[in-house]
Amino acid sequence: MIYKTGERPLPQQVRAATFDTRRRGLDPTQVYAYLDRLADEMEHLRRDLTTATTEAERIRQALRQWQSRQSVGRHADTTHHRGPR
């Protein structure tokens, strides 16, 4: 079997997959060419996902920093300005 149920297949697992031969089975050349294309696409998608995850984390960090600066600025405004007497 290519991979265990519940696990995500890796591109190298797709490329290494083997199939039993049958008398009137599919053309092995076409099957393996298709699996290579599928594995290439999986690698591309994994790279895109890694890039997107990294970018999302960078944005989260920037947002946290911005929120901290805004919070400190608001706190400073309320402690220095007590309003009319």
Name the residue ranges covered by the structural domains of the chain: 37-80
What is the 8-class DSSP label of residue 5?
Answer: T
Residues 33-58 have a mean pLDDT of 94
Q: What is the 3-state secondary structure (H, E, C) of 7-52?
A: CCCCHHHHHHCCCCCCCCCCCHHHHHHHHHHHHHHHHHHHHHHHHH
Q: Does pLDDT of 44 surpass 60?
A: yes
Question: 28: which residues sit within 8 A by CB, 6+ positions away?
Answer: 19, 21
Report the sign of the C-alpha dihedral through residues 20, 24, 25, 28, in that order: positive
Q: How does pLDDT run across 60-81, given as a tens digit for each residue?
A: 999 999 999 998 877 666 665 5
Percent of the chain having pLDDT more than 70?
80
